[in-house]
Amino acid sequence: MLPDHCGSGLLLHLPDDVLTIITRSITPKDLCNLGLCCRGLCELLASDKFWLAQCDKLGIVPYQDLIEWRKGVSSYKALCRFLVGVLPLLGIWVHQNPELGNVVYVMPGFISVVGCRIIPQELGPLGIEEGPILWAPVFEILCDFEGSAEFFLHGREREDDYVYPGSLKAVDRTCNVLLLEVEPRQQRNGGILVHSKSFAHDLDKELSWKVCRSDSGISKSQRIAGQNVEVVPFSRLAFGDRRKLLDHVTRQVRMKVPDSKNVLLFPRLRGEVDLSQDMAILCERRLLLMQMYKLGGSHSDWKAGSKLLLDPTQLEMSEIRKNLNCTHGCETSRCGDGSRTQCSKKKTLAGYFRDSLKHILGKSDTINCSHEILKKNSSFGNKHAQLHEFLHSGDTVGLTLHASTVKLSSYRAWPNMHDSRFALYKLPMREPISGQEYAGLWGGTFGWPPGCPTEDKLGKALFFLLLSYEKSQGQNLLIATKILEGTHYVLHPNGSAMFIVNIDESSVDSFPWETDRDGNVLDIKHAYTGEGIANGYGFRYPGSKPGSLFVIQDGLLAFVWKESRSVLTLQRLNLEKLLKKGERMHALPPVSNFAYLTRSYSNVFAAFSNSANGLSSQRY
């Protein structure tokens, strides 16, 4: 049927501006499907103007930044593919340990997204808005020229900053757990190494496309299992083995970025600096990282011991086994179909005779012995897989960032976390709506006026609180969950409720002060009755004492404990804006930098603070 006589013909005759408005109301997936209706629509909807509208609709970066980002990719369609893929990662991620740290905010960088750790700190005399917020890089995900994602973990070893390249698994739209793992993979192209790395990269992308087209309904683990290779998930390994693998792989794939190219990860705040200069620096740094990712960077930065394959993010599994002294267990033997395995354990004469007899009868018990080992382990209730079983799951191994969705329980908006997973957990952020005007991220300090130092104390501990709403026993509660505390030694556990108020019950108490720091008379908008945290760190879920929450002019909140008259003052935060005005600090070693799993009640980031940053070095 001719286009003029079908529904697509009507769209083809619309002005481009009108068609852009129409396509803006549909999803990127629907826009791709619409282009399949006819050749005319396919050619028309390939235009940048329609995909620019899709990128802008996502709201990840401002429109003017999209124009800058387009210079580094092949098309707005490629950029949209990247933005849709990383959108679920944006937001606040946390971990229980250490009690004073591990708040990671994922935000847009430059044609990338960046994970930034907020360093526990004290607030200087300039307050939250003007004082520099201290942060350290955790990871970044770059968009390459074709819109694919390139993952880099950040870390510091022996006074040098490194990046650790890896892969990013497909991101779940509803992901709530971010896992750092080591993933075994099957060597492609029949196990033949291609020496030209640039050609290998192109070939790898082509093969990936063919695999996705032909096996779109089959998972990677199922495809490997179909080759009679038992896949052992990284999560099934014991904690010590997982730590050992992560430490070893990061040591082998690490790449040192020149200091001059590692200053900025995202442009500073617009209007306060020469933004064109920042963009030039970021563009040069991105091109360098992309080249290192594809070509492997400088070989002098790799430690000897493991051989890198075509992809510099992957290592030969045989070398990993050798370096980790994992020679026991099963060793793959290519026999005909390449699916037979043999056990390397010593056999007696009777054993050889028995195996020979079984081979004649076609009942050799050496086939799929890794499967039998797994089955045996599970039958005896062994919850951990052996390291050698994992290392025989594939030919290569590499770092992987895995954003998955798991069923999590929570207590007052704080997720219950696994203590031995290299993971970050996403905090649910809800936009303020009618009846829930105070939902979101708030920051503040103890004392009045807010952020004002005293003669005996130059700085006050900076608190980050997540305010959320919950119904309990017929009451509408506003819960302020602590996610960051800038003291020297933790006073309140992570995830504890700093205060809980009933927004349906007005308080009759008056605010203890009548003026602000500038002498202006305060205007109290609302007051609610509630309870504030008490008894310090003596309890996992501490007790509480009565108090009131006051809503003050200029968007300030203040919770006042009735008995002690202590006051916690809060203001709503724009964390992305604060980080662009903030000051970058050194990262931890790579694996600890992602999730510091050692329980600590003191500030493990104290080594990165100094008096010039407005911190009290005496306290730290």
Domain residue ranges of the chain, discontinuous segments joined by +: 3-83, 430-574
Which neighbouring-strand residues pair with 460? Answer: 123
DSSP label of 297:
S
Residue 163 pLDDT more than 80?
A: yes
pLDDT at 384: 84
> Within 13 A of 80's CA, how many CA atoms are on the CB side?
22
How far apart are alpha carbons 234 and 230 in whole angstroms? Answer: 13
Instruction: Tell me the per-residue pLDDT of 235-289, one tens digit each, with 9 for 90 and over.
Output: 999 999 999 999 999 999 999 988 777 788 999 887 777 788 889 999 999 999 9
Class of domain 3-83: mainly alpha
Higher pLDDT: 610 or 535? It is 535
pLDDT in tens, 436-477: 999 999 999 998 887 665 555 567 889 999 999 999 888 999
The lowest-confidence range among 34-43, 310-319, 380-389, 541-550 is 310-319
Task: Quick: pLDDT tens for 223-233.
Answer: 444 455 577 88
Nearest-angstrom CA–CA distance, 279 and 266: 9
Residue length of the chain: 620
Give mean pLDDT, residues 393-399.
84
Q: Which residue has the higher pLDDT, 224 or 153?
A: 153
pLDDT tens readout for residues 475-520: 999 999 999 999 888 888 888 899 999 999 999 999 999 888 778 8
Q: Beta strands of 553-594 (E only): which ranges?
A: 556-561, 567-572, 583-584
Is 347's pLDDT higher than 60?
Answer: no
Position 427 pLDDT exceeds 70: yes
Return the higher-pLDDT residue of 510 and 101. 510
Question: Between 123 and 547, whose confidence is greater?
Answer: 547
Closest CA to 458 of 583, 613, 570: 613
In a 3-state reduction of DSSP, which class is residue 484? strand
Least confident of 167-176, 333-342, 511-520, 528-537: 333-342
Nearest to 83 by CA among 46, 48, 57: 57
pLDDT of 172 above 90 = yes
- Give residue 351's pLDDT: 58
φ/ψ region of 512 (left if φ > 0, alpha if ψ in -120 to 50, else beta) reads: alpha
Q: Which two tokens stand for residue 117?
A: 């750790």
Q: What is the mean pLDDT of residues 585-603?
A: 90
Number of Cβ within a 10 Å radius of residue 196: 10
Q: What is the mean pLDDT of the chain?
A: 77
Tell me the one-letter amino acid at 375.
K
The pLDDT value recorded for residue 260 is: 72
Model confidence at 402: pLDDT above 90 = yes
Mean pLDDT of 314-331: 58
The type of residue at 201 is H
Is the pLDDT at 171 greater than 90, yes or no?
A: yes
Show the 3-state SS of 121-164: CEECCCHHHHCCCEEEEEEEEEECCCCCEEEEEEEEECCEEEEE
